[in-house]
Amino acid sequence: MSKFAYLLVSGALAACAASVAGWQVHAEANRVQFPDLDALVHYTTVRRGDVTEHIMTTPAAMAAVKNGRPIPAGTHFVLADHRDGKLYRYFVMEKGEGFGAEYDEARRTADWQFQWFWPDKSINIDENTARCQSCHRGQEDSDYLYTAYRIPRFDGTPVE
């Protein structure tokens, strides 16, 4: 191989590696499945300017939190993100047996995995799921949840 061809191939491989490395900061394949929304309870709403987030989870997770028990594997938490009154996307956390083992310790959030979905429930590959893990790691004392403290106050009407 000529020196020119070698440099050309090396440059192309470097560009591909950089492209793949850049892509990895976005959504990644994991085990999060989009849940049946009808099986979830809408327990709280968070409003930030023109963004409204309706947060829901399973009745079993709500009972566990209310009774001070661990949230069971198989649990989904879903944040339905509305912008200017229209559904924009979903954020889904799923807890599964052994899910945490798929990440190194620096990224692990126990057995939770995270995924973003578009309104049609397809994976939103433009989002950075590692960022989700990084942020939720700060909530270790509440099983990596930001709104679990609202669950005991839920009386059938979403807590705001």
CATH number at residue 53: 3.50.70.20
Token pair belonging to 110: 């126990």
78: in domain: yes
What's the pLDDT at 142? 77
Please say whether the beta carbons of 126 and 134 come within 8 A.
no
63: in domain: yes
CA distance 109 to 104: 10
Q: What is the DSSP letter of 39?
A: G
Helix (H, G, I), strand (E, B) or coil at 137: helix
1: in domain: no
61: in domain: yes
The pTM of this model reads: 0.78
5: in domain: no
Please say whether the beta carbons of 69 and 96 come within 8 A.
no
What's the pLDDT at 111? 76
**Would you write out the chain's pLDDT as a tens digit for each of its 160 residues?**
444 333 333 343 334 333 334 434 456 667 789 999 999 999 999 999 999 999 999 999 999 999 999 999 999 999 999 999 999 999 998 987 776 667 667 666 667 888 999 999 999 888 776 666 666 666 768 777 889 999 999 999 999 9
CA distance 130 to 137: 11
Phi, psi of 85 (to 5 degrees): 80, 0
6: in domain: no
* Structural domain for 79, as ranges: 29-153
65: in domain: yes
145: in domain: yes
Residue linked to tokens 């409204």 = 52
Q: Per residue in 127-137, is it b (16+ CB within 10 Å) or e — as a string?
A: bebbebbeebe
**What's the domain count of the chain?**
1
